[in-house]
Amino acid sequence: MAHIIISILLLICTFNEITETKYISTNESYWRARTELQDAEEKMHLGYKLELTSKEKLVNSKLMEAKHAELKHGLETPVDFLPSMNFLKAKSGIEQSKVFEIIKKIPKGAVLHSHDTAMVSTEFLYNLTYTNDLFICITKNTKEIRFKFATEKPKKTEECDEWNLLSELRQNKTIVDELNANIKSSFTLLVNDPDVVYFDVNEVWKKFVSIFLTLDGFLNYRPVLEDYLYQVFKEFENDKILHLEFRGTLPQTYELNGTVYNEVELVGIYQSVVKRFQSEYPHFSVKFIYAPNRKVDQTTFDQYIEIVKNLHGNYSDFLAGFDLVGQEDLGVAAVEFADKLLKLKEEINIDFYFHAGETNWKGMTDENLFESVLLDSKRIGHGYAITKHPKLMEIVRDKGIAIEISPISNQVLNLVKDLRNHPAAELFSTDFPVVISNDDPSLWGAIGLSYDFYEAFMAFTSYNDDIRVLKQLGYNSILFSSMNVAEKSRALVLFENQWDSFINEMIMET
């Protein structure tokens, strides 16, 4: 027993020698050591390496004054701190924030993670329901709304017994208000008490998926789809964004005469809208990531592979790469398709941008992160569970694989309630390769990227982290995009010009 006690004492003495801090010595005061330690840690933060000009410092002081005021109020009245609330509750408060007011004006670079049918403002989406020839039905079992454009009343289906022309229903003054309210609510997750209604991850995902089903027959009508996409680009450009990479499942898109477009033709429609938008806004660029649902069998996945090959052959410059989407916890693990993905890589030069780690589980769903790393995913969508995997974190950092963080999405979909507790706070503290994206802004009433930038700036950064974080996020979004070297160089020049204009504008207002 004595030799065990001696061994333990020796171990304690050795540990004390190893862990003795270099900051404290007989010649050094406690306060100097404390300052040095704080400085050493701050130098690890996202954006710290950037040097501010004298003009930027003036604008930064205004931003930090607003930030510190909000943080002080949150410290005194924690219940009022906006990033700690579900965004569905906090949205109106954020819109009154002085920090948000500044962030709306800040150039943001690129959006690298957004989904095809959930990118536009809710109000614009609702206004599209006044398009001619739109029929509506309420499903028999789930009581959900379905839409379809047609020249005559659609036939009964397994879901729908009765279709009605929406414009005629709106002429009935006794039901029109309730009807319009139901349509609006069918487009978003907005409810009076989200914490009660969406009490767990599966419950909110059920509503989440139902919205996409509602939008299916509506946005897949070619004329509406084109108007929708053009408005998406316009809203993003208005929010100081210069590049977009959006993911899409490529659903069947149709005309009134019954014509249905295949996947290759649909991407052609996407590209035609991009070119039309660029005729007015030549600085704005777009790329597409084919991202079908992950909850499929091997036969369906084989069909995905063929679609990818066809898209790559026809739109190699517009197609950024391939991904799989849908709720990870209830989907098929990426490892089930690993062999086919490896073979695809050998056959064509295609990049992967996998959703992975969008989960609170450890040693289960989060293992999709391994496939993202081993299959050389260029970025990781969400990556919420990455901090649970120190070895993967090391590899991701070394390889420069950016984590696409979508703060509002992670909160609304019940991964985290208080955004201060989001794993991204750790990533920001170590200048990890990260970008901020908006995922599905339509579904929670957001527009563009400003809301997610606000949440990240107020929740993931320290008290003293400043405008350099926001500028670095803009740089990151361009550097980690799928653009080639020449495109990135052009985008960086555009971003710098936008940034200088923003700084000058803010100084004029002071």
State the burial class of residue 362 (Cβ atoms within 10 Å of its Cβ: 0-12, 13-18, 19+): exposed
List all residues 6 or more positions away from 370 whose beta carbon is below 8 Å from its beta carbon. Answer: 335, 392
DSSP 8: H
Query: Residue 403 class from Cβ within 10 Å (0-12 exposed, 13-18 middle, 19+ buried)?
Result: buried
Out of 56, 245, 358, 367, pick the active-site residue: 358
CA distance 401 to 380: 7
| Polymer length in residues for the chain | 510
Residue 500 DSSP class: H
**358 in active site:** yes
**Cβ count within 10 A of residue 285:** 20
What is the DSSP annotation of 92-161? HHHTT-HHHHHHTTS--EEEEEEETTS-S-HHHHHHGGGSTTEEEEE-TTT--EEEEE-SSPPPP-SS-S
- The helix or strand, by DSSP H or E, that contains position 243, with its residue range, turns out to be strand 241-248
- Would you call 367 a catalytic residue per the annotation? no
Please, are residues 419 and 411 in contact by the beta-carbon 8 Å criterion? yes
**Is residue 113 packed enough to be buried (19+ CB in 10 Å), middle (13-18) or exposed (0-12)?**
buried
Catalytic residue among 45, 382, 389, 422: 382
CA distance from start to end of the chain: 74
CA distance 270 to 285: 12
- What is the DSSP annotation of 446-460? --SSHHHHHHHHHHT
Tell me the C-alpha distance between 265 and 282, whole Å: 24
State how far the Cα of 444 lies from the Cα of 437, in Å rounded to an integer. 14
Kind and range of the H or E element at 254? strand 253-254
For residues 103 and 110, the answer to whether their CB atoms sit within 8 Å is no
Q: What 8-state DSSP symbol labels residue 443?
A: G
Residues contacting residue 13 through CB under 8 Å, at least 6 positions apart: none
Residue type, 234: K
Q: Could you tell me the CA-to-CA distances from 285 to 215, 281, 316, 481, 482 in Å, in that order?
A: 25, 9, 15, 11, 11
| Single-letter code of the amino acid located at 494 | L
Rg over alpha carbons for the chain, rounded to the nearest Å, is 25
Structure tokens, 11: 């171990």
Instruction: Return the active site residues.
Output: 358, 382
